[in-house]
Chain A
Amino acid sequence: MTSATTAHSVVEPSATTRRFAGSLVVLYAIITMIPLVWIMLTAFKSPDDAISYPPKVMFKPSLEGFCNLFTTRSRQTPEFIRSLGSPQGLCDSIARSRNMVVAGPSNYVPRFVNSLIIAFGSTVLAVALGTLSAYGFSRFRVPLKDDLLFFILSTRMMPPIAVAIPIYLMYRTIGLSDTRLGMILLYTSVNVSLAVWLLKGFIDEIPREYEEAAMIDGYTRFQAFVKVVLPQATTGIAATAIFCLIFAWNEYAFAVLLTSGNAQTAPPFIPIIIGEGGQDWPAVAAGTTLFLVPIVVFTVLLRKHLLRGITFGAVRK
């Protein structure tokens, strides 16, 4: 070891090591991004460009994928199309260039709205229940605390298909199958375990002295919880909410088995977008892109809390 590298610290990696490590990581990051970038590019390709061989990196951007995603079309004779007036809007003219006319909106928007309603509904419920329980577990002496906490976590470990069998029968009996309410309750029950574990970690970090000081000033325990603890826990609650939101947004197993129309979310819908003669890849890619963009944004927002979220609050860094 030369004196130059040992001058400041023995444990600092040398400049060469750093550059070498950096280039390997960047290489991995680029390789890992290729599938995602490819799907986003495919969303802007015409159907012919999307299935060309060799795969096209350079192409003329087209909005046909998005048009096909949002509309249903029917094939017509050229004479019939000529008899119509001028095309209404971009999608109509794209459809006409393929001897088709726009027949109406597709189901993508309702499925997307279902995803939004179910994800937000279950997140609000799970975070509300989770915050209360986490405070209870954090501050009070609850009998069998560790067993209860393990019980709460273990419900999340159940294989979804194993849970879906009785839920399917139960929902059929009480009329909750294929309803948004049913899905909200189900996702809440899965998310609440994560919310309790994560939020307990966040609330444990808030010094008890704050509430005690507030209680000495005449607040009741409940007032102290609302006015002192909740504002302190805002960051934790927000991070937890985003995790719940992502889970509910991404969930597929329950959605595909328990919903068929009314309450169907986007993940079971996107794979069944088909055009004439097989899957309409630009439309699938467009649906995928729109579905994934919010997650990418949330991941960037969450990056400081990701570790906590994926380890149920155990590893805090």
Chain B
Amino acid sequence: MNELSASSRITYRAVMVRPGVARRIRGLSDRTLAWLFITPTIVLLLAINIFPLLWTIYLSFTNYRANRANVPTIWLGADWYQSILTDPDIWAAMQVTAHFVIWTVVIETVLGFGLAYLIDKKFRGHGMWTTIILLPMMLSPAVVGNFWTFLYQPQIGLFNYVVAFFTGRAASSFQMLGDVTLSPWAIVIVDTWMWTPYVMLICLAGLRSIPDYIYEAAEVDRASKWRQFWSITLPMALPFIMLAVLFRGIENFKMFDMVNLLTGGGPGSTTEVASITLKRAAFESWRTGYSSAFAIILFVTVFGLANIYVKALNKVKSR
């Protein structure tokens, strides 16, 4: 590959004594270099991601159990897939996951876009306050989940105290993590606290990509602020909002660490999102074949979403 501009190619010819030989060596080395540079990454990913994935696919058709490696492995065909797709427990986990994903994405998008819209007004000190708002999303979800269990303590927790202060109920009268109806919302609250800044940051980039002259033209045409928002701001920021929604959707669909530490799936299985069901099947009941099949089903779903995500990425990139 040789993309020298016309003028530099002339200089190049003038400087090099034997251009033919030089070009051949360099042409060869470019190609070799490209492969030398790219191969290590591909090899690593093949070894640590693709080979295990193929292994999982194989295991998902067998009765293998990781804690009983000596039992002869029997080929079961698609039995696990059939039993998973008809298992009411799995569908219950999927419903819990859907509740979690839908509510977090909706609340984070509304709050995040709202914040971005306000920050875009460029008040004094908006840079510093933006950085402060961004902090939670950089923290470890596991550590965040763990310290929120402290805030959610029924008697001594700050969260309960604040809610009690504003509603007049007793702080010990409700348990965010131990209550069947409240705990699905407890995990939504923590995820919202942590990831609203993410949506905000991407929406802010969307709002800043809208050129001023469009608003100026709208002012000249006497479009109301309300009309400007619905006809300019929202449509033009939409690809960015979509990007944030998709990414949050994918990430929360596979959510594990934060929920595992907050509730561990409980009480009962009211907050048992798909990843926790998978962990229980794979690492607590050691049903390796079964959990491999479930892992493949989850992976195919995420892969489909990721495909859409990359298309959205490229769309935003071409702006």
Residues of chain A having any CB pair with chain B under 8 Å: 9-11, 13, 17-19, 21-22, 24-26, 28-29, 32-36, 38-39, 42, 50-55, 129-130, 132-133, 135-137, 139-142, 148, 150-155, 157-170, 172, 185-186, 188-189, 192-193, 196, 208-209, 212-213, 215-216, 220-222, 246, 249-253, 256-257, 267-268, 270-271, 279, 281, 284-285, 288, 291-292, 295-296, 298-300, 303, 306-307, 310-312, 314-315, 317
Contacts and interface: CB of A to CB of B under 8 A. Distances in A.
A13 B250 CA distance: 36
B141 interface: yes
B282 A11 contact: no
B299 interface: yes
A46 B161 CA distance: 19
Interface string B132-156: 1111111111110011101101011
Contacts of A154: 303, 306
Given A132-B40, A148-B42, A299-B134, A29 B129 contact: yes
Contacts of A151: 45
Nearest to B117: A21
Contact of A135 (B37, B130, B303, B316): B37
30 contacts: A18-B122, A22-B124, A22-B125, A22-B129, A25-B129, A53-B171, A132-B36, A132-B40, A151-B45, A153-B310, A157-B250, A159-B274, A160-B256, A161-B254, A161-B275, A162-B296, A163-B52, A164-B283, A165-B56, A166-B51, A166-B56, A192-B44, A221-B26, A252-B142, A252-B256, A296-B135, A299-B134, A299-B138, A310-B201, A312-B313
What are the nearest 6 A-B pairs in CB distance?
A22-B123, A166-B52, A252-B142, A162-B295, A250-B140, A136-B37
B48 interface: yes
B41 A152 contact: yes
Given A21-B123, A38-B158, A150-B310, A141 B4 contact: no
Nearest to A192: B41
A155 B45 contact: yes
B71 interface: no
Contacts, number: 321
Chain A interface, DSSP helix/strand/loop, else mixed: helix
Q: How large is the interface on B (under 10, 10 to 19, 20 to 34, 35 or more residues)?
A: 35 or more
Contact of B193 (A32, A170, A288): A32
Contacts of B36: 132
A299 B131 contact: yes
Contacts of B215: 10-11
B93 to A, nearest CB: 12
A22 B130 CA distance: 11
Contacts of A279: 150
Given A21-B118, A166-B55, A167-B52, A136 B147 contact: no
